[in-house]
Amino acid sequence: MHRPHTFQKIKMMGNISIHDIENAIHDVILDSNPNTLTTREVRIQLEKQFDENLHDKRVIIDEITMRMLVKKLKPIEELD
């Protein structure tokens, strides 16, 4: 039996798309210190923005946040 990927699961949950979540996380990261930002802080900011409890989306928010933070914190020579 085929299990949906995490990103596919989130598209089925609520009215918030993965694209909306990615854009919102990107904005939170840009407005924060990436050295001290936690995924919990990101989720709280998103909950305020979307006016919705996102605890059930915690895992996907954590994954996206960490992926974006790693890209942002890489030295420039590693981004080539």
Q: Which has more pLDDT, 18 or 1? A: 18
Answer whether 0.85 is exceeded by the pTM. no
C-alpha of 30 from chain center: 12
Per-residue pLDDT, 27? 94
pLDDT average, residue stretch 3-15? 50
Q: What is the pLDDT of residues 18-36, one digit of tens each?
A: 899 999 999 999 999 888 9
Please give the Cα distance from 35 to 72 (Å, whole number): 10
Please give the Cα distance from 45 to 24 (Å, whole number): 9
Per-residue pLDDT, 15? 80
Structure tokens at 18: 């993965």
Domain spans in the chain, listed from the N-terminal domain onward: 6-74
